Amino acid sequence: MPPELYSTTPALFLTYETTMGLRDKIATADDTRRQQVPCPEWGVTLEVRSITNRQKADWEVRCATVRKGKTKVDPHRLKADLIVTTCYDPFDGSRVFTYDDIPMLAERNAAVLERLFDVACDLTGITQRDEGDILGKSDEATP
């Protein structure tokens, strides 16, 4: 085949072995994105990590509750829950918070929480539209 055909249509030349190699590369890739975020207000630096698609779906479910047939999304939990899910100790790699810490986080400096939430969203690919879609699932506004 002419070389120009190779460069314009590479998908035609994928073999079973090549595609299995690609699948294995994808399956074993460390695609977790990480960013260290200084939190001078707390005197610490946290490592924020991206989350998997499964973790993102679980996060969306945890932020919604159904009561009396109506779905409510708590915007306070939305942010704190993502912070709990994505924040790690940059030295030992352990999670910094548990889900039991969500009420405590609600009482912390909003600027720090916004900073951590924004980085978590950026690393995970959560857009403002995604956040709006999740909040839009609510049948009625949650104060």
Which CATH number does 32-136 carry?
3.30.2220.20
Cα torsion 134, 135, 139, 140 to 10°: value is 170
The b/e string for 119-141 (b: 16+ C-beta within 10 A; e otherwise) is bbbebbebeeeebeebbeebeee
Strands (E), 1-139: 34-39, 44-49, 64-67, 70-73, 87-88
CB contact at 8 A, 80 and 102: yes
How far is the C-alpha of 111 from the C-alpha of 107, rounded, in Å? Answer: 12
Instruction: Write down the residue that tokens 């314009």 correspond to.
Output: 8
pLDDT for 11: 57
How far is the C-alpha of 33 from the C-alpha of 51, rounded, in Å? Answer: 8
pLDDT for 5: 47
pLDDT for 4: 52
One digit per residue, the tens of pLDDT, for the chain of length 143 reads 445 544 555 555 556 556 668 888 888 888 999 999 999 999 999 999 999 999 998 988 888 877 777 777 777 788 999 999 999 999 999 999 999 999 999 999 999 999 999 999 999 988 766 666 666 655 544 44
pLDDT for 21: 84
pTM (2 d.p.): 0.74
pLDDT for 68: 79
What is the radius of gyration, based on Cα positions, of the chain? 20
